[in-house]
Structures are given as C-alpha cells and as structure tokens.
Structure 1
Amino acid sequence: MTNLAVTGGQALSVLKKYKKTLITLITLFLLIGCKENEPLPGEPWTVSVAMPSFYPVKITQAYGVNEEEDWTILLHSLSQGLLISEMKNVVGMFPDYDGFGIPINPLTSLKGRQIGAGTNHTPDSIYIYWTSLINVRFFVTKYDLSTKVKELMAKRLHYTRSDGSQGGACYRTNLFFGLLPNGKAKVWLRGCGQLIYLAELDPAREKDRDQNGTTADEYRQGPTPTPQRVRQRGVDAGVSTVPIPWEKVGKVYSQDPVELLSEQ
C-alpha cells in the first residue's frame, strides 16, 4: 500500500507539472498568434533621403530600431549624396528645378535598404546620422513611427493604371526624408503613387564630428575642401547660395500630389 501511495502521489505531482507547462505553452501560442495577427506590410520597409542640390548632405549611418522585438537593422546605399544631388540629375526629372528645393523621386534621392534579407516588421524609430556639407554641421535625425503610420504601411493597396483600372498589389513602405542645412528634416510616406506628409523634425542632436569621427576641420582640409566644392555649384549656376534663402529651401518637387496624414 505504501508503495502504491508513493506512486500515486508522484503521478499527481507530474500531472500538476504537465498542467502548468501546458498552460504556459497555450499562453505563449496565444501571444505569438496575436503578434502574427498584427498588421504587417507585405514587403520590407525602406528609407530614402533627398536634399537640395545646392545643399547636399553626407549620410554616415542610418538604422531602424524596434524596442519590443529588440532589434536594430542597419541601412546601406546611402553614401552618395554629392553625386545623386547634382543639378544635371535633378533637372532631368524636374525641368523647372532651381537647385534650392527638395526633389522627391527615386532617381533624385538615396534609397537605403536593410542589410541582409530584411524584415517587413516595422521599426519603432528611424535614426539618420548626417553631415550638412555646405556649413559642415553634424546632425542626428530621429523619427518615431506612430501606430497610424504603421497601419498605413501595412495596408494592401493596388496601383491604378493609366486607363483607371486596378493594377497589382502595392504597399506604402518607403519612409522618405528631406534634409536641410539647419538640421531640420521633413518626412513623408511614399508608395502606391502616394506621397503622404508625416512631420517636420528638429534635429534630435547636433554633434562635433560625424559618425566616422571626422571633424569639421578635416572636411575643410585638402586641395578642394568639401564646402568649397559645394559652394561652387551655386557659382556655376550664377546664383548666391550663402546666406541660405530659406524661403526657397523648403519647397517640395514631386510628381505625386502631396497628401496629409490627417486626410488618411
């Protein structure tokens, strides 16, 4: 009898442990299911950067961060700001471009893609470390994605063909930044033939050197210092770029009509 009692007690204890384990597993599955059921874009998100031709920038680091999922993803292909911002590249898309405004088009901007295979899980924040080359100032831009912006990115739409019929599926997953020489940034969400204005940001931080450790004095050294090369663009165009005419710099050039976030 004693042996049977011990065996029965042990069996009861094991059953209790299995019950606790089963409840834990069910809870985890429910949490995972809720997470998977959250709206996610059907394609990886990207970041684009545009700048005035007369006020180009250099991106030294950019990445997205998701706090809840505990990841940071670096972005690449954002280093050729001087080249992409040349007037000859922009006027091909915008014939009336004056060199001061922000040209928003894939051919006049840098497109940062996620390093690796990429994820369609949206970041909570985007960080961009950059240098305004005409005045050699170093800025950090931070943009926090709201729930509404994440929902817009996850919404499946369809392209509209020229005849008005419905085309293939698309997503608005391109976060588009326009960077200005005082450190301010304008942010749009682009995709599916839409350009949605999200915010104007002050710099999150101004630094004394770029992310590579290069100081302003180093940018100004050499036979053709970077600020001198940048100012030459205005000289060649026959216009004055210093002091900065702020009433011209904020203008946006886009083939897509600019919509407001409040209208979505």
Structure 2
Amino acid sequence: MPVLNKYRKTLITLLALFLLIGCKENEPLPGKPWQVSVVTPSFYPIYITQAYGVNEEQDWTMPLHGLSLSMSKSELANVRTVFPDYDGFGLPVSLLTGVRGRQLGSANKHLPDSIYIYWTSLINLRFFVTKYDLPQKVKEIMSKGVSVERYDGSLGSCFRTEFFFGMLPNGKAKVWLMGCDQLIYLAELDPAREKDRDQNGTTADEYRQGSTPQRVRQRGIDAGVSTVPIPWEKVGKVYSQDPVELLSEQ
C-alpha cells in the first residue's frame, strides 16, 4: 500500500508538471506581438502573394499584410545607404532593406506553430511556398526578456519577436530571429512546395507579358554585372549590422 501511494504521488507530480508546461506554452508573448520581415538580394527581387501564421492547437490562422516587397525597397542604391559595400547579390538583413508583414486586425501575441509565405522569384519566374515550423526552443527565446539599459539609465526588458526571412531564387530561404541588437540564425529551408502559378493564379507567361521581368534583369545591366547564370557563391553571403549568432549558442 505505501508503494502504491508513492506511485500515485509521483504520477500526480508529473501530471501537474505537464499541465504547468502546457499552460506556459500557451501564454502570450510578454513583449510586442510577433512580426515577419522578408528580404531578397537586390538583383533577385521577389513578389509575395500571401503570408500567414497558423496555430494548430488554438485553431487560428493569422494573415499578414504589407509583405508586397516593392521593387524600390530592394533597389541597389537604397540598400547601399545601409550597407555601402553591398554587391547586389547577397542578403542585406536590416529592417531598412526588408519589408515587414504585420498581423491583420488586432495583434495576436500568441505564437504560431508555423509561418507560410507564398512568393514568386522574378528573375526566373518560379513559384514557391516557404514554411517555417517554430521549434520549442525558439518560442522560449521569444518569451524570455533580455535586460537592456534605457536612455534614462534605468533597466528594462527587450524581447526578440521579429522573424526575418531571406529568399533566394532557387526557392531556398534563410530564417533569423531579430531583436534587442541580436540576429539569431535559425535555419535554412528548402521550399515546402513549388507551384506552376502564383497564389493569385498568375502564370509565368502572364508575368512575361508585363514589364517587371525586364526591369529585374535591367538592374544587373545597369550595374554592369552578369546576373544570369546566378553566381551562388555570392548569393549566399549575409550582410548584417548586428553579429550573427547561432541558435545552438542561445
């Protein structure tokens, strides 16, 4: 009987622990709501047709707006105001060179389980879907504050809540977590899917009938460089004002 009571107490303790962990995972972020930014090489801009976050357990989908990635944002001259030595091929990771997607409606501080981005690579007119599944460790980092000194000398907490995606013309994507003067490299993703048209139903032939593909190629011509075939050894370079840290170091 004493042994049975001992096991019962152990089970109750474990159950309480699991419930506590589950509740903690469902808590909203203590800082600002999560956001998503996207950047591309200047010579290889993209067009985003849809982006959203999904939380399976809470059964919600949160659309993101503002991720149109205008051509002007990735212009070589614009990027060089932030990174003077930028060559046009690498990924210039900065809030001043990327485009930020904000949640539609009221800001949801609960984290998604996955983030989806549907986009078109304009240099080769290929259509990709990027999916990033948030590991538990990333959720914990986002919920944990970093001590910072305010302008008045007092101490406060800063939270890392910005997902930063760097899109490459072969459909691959690099993902970082940005905030509090940190840039944490999370993963390199293969495309979750490649489609024969964008999310609006526009095909490659229809894109070619417009002026955008020619404007994209003109960027390399104006800069006096060859952008096709793609020099992959240059495209993989990352430009950042903050030191790039690894998730394993956190």
TM-score of the pair, normalised by structure 1: 0.83
Distance 2:72 2:175 in 1: 22
Match of 1:49 among 27, 38, 58: 38
Identity over aligned residues, as a percent? 71
Distance 1:58 1:36 in 2: 37
Within the alignment, does 1:130 sit opposite 2:119 as a pair?
A: yes
Q: Is the 1:158–1:192 contact (alpha carbons within 8 Å) kept by the matching residues of 2? A: no
What amino acid does structure 2 have at the position aligned with 1:211? Q
Q: Is the 1:41–1:156 contact (alpha carbons within 8 Å) kept by the matching residues of 2? A: no
Kindly tell me: are residues 141 and 37 of structure 1, through their superposed partners in 2, closer, same or farther at Cα, counting changes over 3 Å?
A: closer
Alignment deviations for residues 117-168 of structure 1 (CA, whole Å, 9 cap, x no partner)? 1111000000000000010000000000010000001111133579xx6653
Structure number with bigger Rg:
1
Distance 1:148 1:39 in 2: 15
Matched with 1:256 is: 242
- RMSD of the alignment, in Å? 2.1
Matched with 1:97 is: 86
Q: Is the 1:48–1:109 contact (alpha carbons within 8 Å) kept by the matching residues of 2? A: yes
Matched with 1:220 is: 208
Within the alignment, does 1:176 sit opposite 2:164 as a pair?
A: yes
Matched with 1:3 is: none
Distance 1:166 1:234 in 2: 49
What amino acid does structure 2 have at the position aligned with 1:214? T
Q: Is the 2:90–2:237 contact (alpha carbons within 8 Å) kept by the matching residues of 1? A: yes
What amino acid does structure 2 have at the position aligned with 1:78? L
Distance 2:168 2:154 in 1: 37
Within 5 A, what are the aligned runs for 1:21-32? none
Distance 2:25 2:231 in 1: 49
Matched with 1:14 is: none
Distance 1:258 1:116 in 2: 32
Name the SS for the 1:108 alignment partner. Answer: coil
Within the alignment, does 1:58 sit opposite 2:62 as a pair?
A: no
What amino acid does structure 2 have at the position aligned with 1:228? Q
Q: Is the 1:59–1:81 contact (alpha carbons within 8 Å) kept by the matching residues of 2? A: no
Distance 1:261 1:36 in 2: 21
Matched with 1:186 is: 174
Structure 2, gaps ≥5 residues long: 1-18
Matched with 1:229 is: 215
Structure 1 stretches of 4+ moved >4 Å: 31-34, 36-39
Kindly tell me: are residues 167 and 215 of structure 1, through their superposed partners in 2, closer, same or farther at Cα, counting changes over 3 Å?
A: farther
Q: Is the 2:26–2:110 contact (alpha carbons within 8 Å) kept by the matching residues of 1? A: no
TM-score of the pair, normalised by structure 2: 0.88
Matched with 1:119 is: 108
What amino acid does structure 1 have at the position aligned with 2:125? V
What amino acid does structure 2 have at the position aligned with 1:106? L
Q: Is the 1:51–1:57 contact (alpha carbons within 8 Å) kept by the matching residues of 2? A: yes
Q: Which deviates the most, 76-85 or 35-44? A: 35-44
What amino acid does structure 2 have at the position aligned with 1:247? E
Distance 2:216 2:38 in 1: 18
Name the SS for the 1:107 alignment partner. Answer: coil
Within 5 A, what are the aligned runs for 1:148-163? 148-160=137-149
Structure 1, gaps ≥5 residues long: 1-30
Kindly tell me: are residues 67 and 97 of structure 1, through their superposed partners in 2, closer, same or farther at Cα, counting changes over 3 Å?
A: same
Structure with greater helix share of residues: 1
Distance 2:149 2:185 in 1: 21
Within the alignment, does 1:246 sit opposite 2:232 as a pair?
A: yes
